[in-house]
């Protein structure tokens, strides 16, 4: 949302040379950098029109390296501002105070003598350069520059935790409700430039409603399945945690790890259920112990190659396009980079990983519905009647249930006891 004197998106492109963009964000948690601290990162590459401009250090800023002259950059300035308890989750007072300082149009000072000061609010002024050929569409240009700046802020926040281990969580864009942006040419001033508001993540509001009767029924169903030993509820718990880490906290590493856990629980529990069902006539843990023995059969990747296709059919080759390929590359491989190298995945990589994990579950459910005649218990415990009615296979599953010897309420308990016996054999 632009001010009335702001240019149209196409008008910004006609501005001479690159633009200096500033974003103001109020962090949800205090960051312990002192008021006025400046941190600058020089970026690779070049920006046309910047080579003739000189980077001049501010009065209280750090020295500028000669090699940084003419290079694109991100510069952060940290401010610690007093804030009222009722400032609200968007912290607009703090943002507009800094905006007024930058534009030279100060706001009236607030009176805090009424004792409503909660603490200090950290506002970060993030400055970068945007080349003239990347100014349109305006929304995309602003988002690109904002993410570039926030990556540096995340780096600073992350490394600050090494100095203060008990400090607050690492800053992420998903934690920010709104940002202010300002733009000016290299030779102009912010007072004569443009500004606007960037809505980001809506802050959580008060409880708007409670569970209705249908949702309470679903909750009770999940609880009883969980208490009976259903592995699927454990898997879906990881999926929910992955989405919370991604959408609300911006913790991409945790989101990828949780998505990988979700996928591995789904894969492992599905195979375990099928192995349990195969031994019902002649109870034994021998085959399952051999399959899950790392020293004999290898790990999950090996089991995916050898154990699933003969039982469920479909494509389980990770080199061929499909859900298994996407899981192996977008989820498992990315998780390994995160866990073993400390890699910080991007927003897009994380979003792709969560989608690939979801697609894996859909694929497995579809294959189980196709094999309900061979694995009726596994299909019923994984999909239930609603899933089998939706995907197919309910008529065969229902015919299996008509056998009076089948007691579905005991299946999870029987499976759990058998699975624990397998684990004891492997320990």
Residue 197: beta bridge partners?
Answer: 180
Q: What is the pLDDT of residue 164?
A: 79
**In terms of domains, do 121 and 231 share one?**
no
Task: Please indicate, yes or no, if residue 312 is contained in any of the structural domains.
Answer: yes
1 domain residue, yes or no: no
Give the end of a domain, one of 145, 167, 199: 199
Domains held by the chain: number: 2
Residues of the chain whose pLDDT is less than 70? 1-16, 49-69, 84-90, 106-119, 167, 203-208, 297
* Residue 28, C-beta contacts closer than 8 angstroms, at least 6 positions apart: 89, 175, 176
Other Cβ atoms less than 10 A from the Cβ of 154: the count is 17
- What radius of gyration do the chain's Cα atoms show? 28
Q: Are residues 182 and 267 in the same domain?
A: no
Does 337 lie in the same domain as 231?
A: yes
Whether 57 is covered by a domain: the verdict is yes
CB environment 247-270: b (16+ within 10 A), e (fewer): eebbbbbbbbbbbbbbbbbbbbbb
Q: What is the pLDDT of residue 71?
A: 79
Residue 189 inside a domain? The answer is yes
Among 266, 275, 279, 377, residue whose Cα is nearest residue 327 = 266
pLDDT of residue 12: 43
On whether both 147 and 252 belong to a single domain, the answer is no
Same domain, 157 and 46: yes
CA distance linking residue 5 with residue 81, whole number of Å: 29
pLDDT tens profile 305-357: 999 999 999 999 999 999 999 999 999 999 999 999 999 999 999 999 999 99
Task: Tell whether 208 is covered by a domain.
Answer: no
Other beta carbons less than 10 A from residue 325's beta carbon: 16
Q: Which of 91, 92, 88, 86 is nearest to 117 (CA)?
A: 86
Instruction: Give the domain extent around 124.
Output: 9-199
Domain boundary among 164, 199, 234: 199
Are 344 and 397 members of one domain? yes
Same domain, 134 and 226: no
Please indicate, yes or no, if residue 397 is contained in any of the structural domains.
yes
Report yes or no: 145 and 21 within 8 Å, Cβ to Cβ: yes
Say if 322 falls within a structural domain. yes
Give the HSE-up count for residue 272: Cα atoms under 13 Å, Cβ half-sphere. Answer: 26
pLDDT 10s digits, 261-294? 999 999 999 999 999 999 999 999 999 999 999 8
For residues 222 and 194, state if they share a domain.
no
> Do 291 and 405 reside in the same domain of the chain?
yes
Rounded to an integer, what distance in angstroms lies between the CA atom of residue 262 and that of residue 228? 19
199, 222, 250 — which closes off a domain? Answer: 199
Q: What is the pLDDT of residue 7?
A: 47
**250 and 191: one domain?**
no
Q: Which helix (H) or strand (E) holds 25?
A: strand 19-26
Q: Is residue 4 part of a domain?
A: no
Does residue 254 share a domain with residue 130? no
Q: Are residues 376 and 232 in the same domain?
A: yes
């Amino acid at each position: 949302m632009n001010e009335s004197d702001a240019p149209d998106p196409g008008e910004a492109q006609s501005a001479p040379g690159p633009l200096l963009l500033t974003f103001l964000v109020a962090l949800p948690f205090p960051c312990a950098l002192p008021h006025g601290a400046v941190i600058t990162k020089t970026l690779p590459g070049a920006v046309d029109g910047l080579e003739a401009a000189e980077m001049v250090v501010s009065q209280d800023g750090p020295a500028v390296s000669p090699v940084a002259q003419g290079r694109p950059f991100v510069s952060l300035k940290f401010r610690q501002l007093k804030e009222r308890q009722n400032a609200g989750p968007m912290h607009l007072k703090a943002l507009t105070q800094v905006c007024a300082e930058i534009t030279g149009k100060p706001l009236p000072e607030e009176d805090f003598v009424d004792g409503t000061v909660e603490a200090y609010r950290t506002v970060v002024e993030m400055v970068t350069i945007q080349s003239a050929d990347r100014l349109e569409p305006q929304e995309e240009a602003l988002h690109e520059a904002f993410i570039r700046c926030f990556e540096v802020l995340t780096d600073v926040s992350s490394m600050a935790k090494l100095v203060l281990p008990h400090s607050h969580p690492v800053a992420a864009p998903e934690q920010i409700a709104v940002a202010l942006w300002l733009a000016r040419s290299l030779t102009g001033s912010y007072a004569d430039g443009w500004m606007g508001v960037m809505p980001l993540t809506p802050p959580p509001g008060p409880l708007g409603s409670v569970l209705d009767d249908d949702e309470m029924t679903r909750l009770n169903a999940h609880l009883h399945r969980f208490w009976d030993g259903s592995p699927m509820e454990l898997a879906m718990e990881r999926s929910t945690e992955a989405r919370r880490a991604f959408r609300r906290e911006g913790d991409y590493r945790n989101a990828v790890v949780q998505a990988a856990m979700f996928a591995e629980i789904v894969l492992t529990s599905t195979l375990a259920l099928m192995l349990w069902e195969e031994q019902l006539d002649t109870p034994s843990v021998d085959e399952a112990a051999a399959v899950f023995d790392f020293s004999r059969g290898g790990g999950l990747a090996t089991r995916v190659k050898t154990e699933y296709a003969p039982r469920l059919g479909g494509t389980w080759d990770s080199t061929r396009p499909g859900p298994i390929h996407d899981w192996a590359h977008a989820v498992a491989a990315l998780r390994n980079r995160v866990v073993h190298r400390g890699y910080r995945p991007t927003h897009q990589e994380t979003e792709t990983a969560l989608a690939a994990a979801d697609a894996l579950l859909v694929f497995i459910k579809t294959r189980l519905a196709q094999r309900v005649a061979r694995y009726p218990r596994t299909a019923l415990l994984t999909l239930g009647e609603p899933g089998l009615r939706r995907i197919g296979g309910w008529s065969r599953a229902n015919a299996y249930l008509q056998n009076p010897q089948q007691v579905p309420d005991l299946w999870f308990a029987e499976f759990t006891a058998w699975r624990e016996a397998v684990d004891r054999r492997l320990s």
